[in-house]
Amino acid sequence: MGPGNETQISEFLLLGFSEASELQPLLFGLFLSMYLVTIFGNLLIILAIISDSHLHTPMYFFLSILSLCDIGLSSTTVPKMLMNIQMQSRVITYGGCITQMYCFLLFAGLDDFLLAVMAYDRFVAICHPLHYMVIMNPWLCVLLVLGSWAMSVMQSCSQGLMVLRLSFCTHKEIPHFCELCQMVQLAYSDTFFNYLVTYFLTGLLGGGPLAGILVSYFKIVSSLRAISSTQGKYKAFSTCASHLSVVSLFYCTSIGVYLSPAASHNTHSGAPAAVMYTMVIPMLNPYIYSLRNKDIKGALKKFFGRKA
């Protein structure tokens, strides 16, 4: 910590994606459109699952929670971006920045854990189909979701408390939104323990779900090799295609955001990765699951047909 008579920062400046004034209306329209598509797309998935009793299964239960998580992840950053563009202001208060960072960590971590839970669900469905409903009973499904929430809250609280102990100089600029690594880099106090906690939690709570996903799919592939029918293999693996697409998109973008030196240190070079992580992935998830899923499309047709 710095000396007590040093000025504690009360606000940050979000630099945004472009400083050109003529591009601001275009950015506002683009981000607003993507945000609305994200909200309505994920809400449609949730409504379809709730309205159709045939979709009251573990797989679709986890999918509805994932859609709710994507709404929260997108709502953490995009509304503030839109407000700053509309009001031509870049200011975010210290408290608002800490809150945004905490919520982003919470929903991003929950997204990670849910993808691992969904991989386990697919493993049970393909490798133990006769015992699927016994193993994936309602109590276990609820416990898996509650456990994912608890782990996400724990890691976001731990990271948030570590940031609260840091001191910042005045007039600090943040590229796009209040993200953990950016805030730690801006601190002038000792950040050794922050990096230590970050690496430990990333390895434990980030690498753990990824390892679970890899193990689940390794066992799925091993089980599929025992199926003699090509059509049977395709039918079994087709249930995993949407999940694999979302997992690939999520982890490839995460690697681009956190391991790319340009994304960490350059203001505008990390913009594509930030847009992908905060807007594109939550927007694409419902379409990845619905376009290849006859059950979801059938439920939506029933829902709108009943309304009509």
Q: What is the CATH classification number for the domain harbouring 132?
A: 1.20.1070.10
- Give domain status of residue 246, yes or no: yes
For residue 283, what are the domain limits? 11-302
Q: Which two tokens stand for residue 229?
A: 């029918």
Does residue 308 form part of some domain? Answer: no
Q: Is residue 35 part of a domain?
A: yes
- pLDDT tier at 274, thresholds 50, 70, 90: low
The structure tokens listed for 223 are 């089980």
Q: Is 285 part of any domain?
A: yes
283-297 burial, b for 16+ CB within 10 Å, e for fewer? bbbbebbbeebebbe
Q: Pick the closest to residue 41 from 248, 302, 253, 289 (CA basis).
A: 289
In angstroms, the Cα distances linking 231 to 43, 122, 228, 236, 242 are 33, 18, 9, 9, 18
Contacts of 276 (CB under 8 A, 6+ apart): 253, 256, 257
For the residues 51-72, what does the mean pLDDT come to?
Answer: 92
Q: What is the mean pLDDT of residues 131-136?
A: 92
Which residue's structure tokens are 């920045």?
A: 97
Look over the chain and give the mean of its residue pLDDT values, rounded to a whole number: 83
pLDDT at 307: 59
Question: What is the count of structural domains for the chain?
Answer: 1
Distance in angstroms (rounded) separating the CA atoms of residues 84 and 175: 13
Residues 6+ apart with CB under 8 A from 166: 183, 184, 187, 189, 191, 194
Q: What count of other Cβ atoms lies within 10 Å of the Cβ of residue 113?
A: 24
260, pLDDT greater than 80: no
What is the b/e burial string over 231-260, where b = at least 16 CB atoms within 10 angstroms of the residue's CB? eebeebbebbebbeebbebbbebbebbbee
Comparing 41-45, 101-105, 233-237, 283-287, the range with the smallest average pLDDT is 233-237
> 113: pLDDT confidence band, cut at 50, 70 and 90?
very high
Q: Is the pLDDT of residue 201 over 50?
A: yes
Whether the per-residue pLDDT at 7 is higher than 60: the answer is no
Dist CA 216 CA 299 (whole Å): 29
pLDDT for the residue numbered 39: 94
CA distances to 48, 141, 289 from 294, in Å = 12, 23, 10
Let me know if residue 5 belongs to a domain. Answer: no
pLDDT of residue 4: 40
The dihedral of CA 185, 188, 192, 193: what is its sign? negative
Per-residue pLDDT at 232 exceeds 50: yes
Summarize the confidence of residues 226-239 as an average pLDDT. Answer: 74
Report yes or no on 143 lying in a domain.
yes
16: region left, alpha or beta (phi > 0 left; psi from -120 to 50 alpha)? left
pLDDT band for position 272 (cuts 50, 70, 90): low
CB 131 within 8 A of CB 90: no
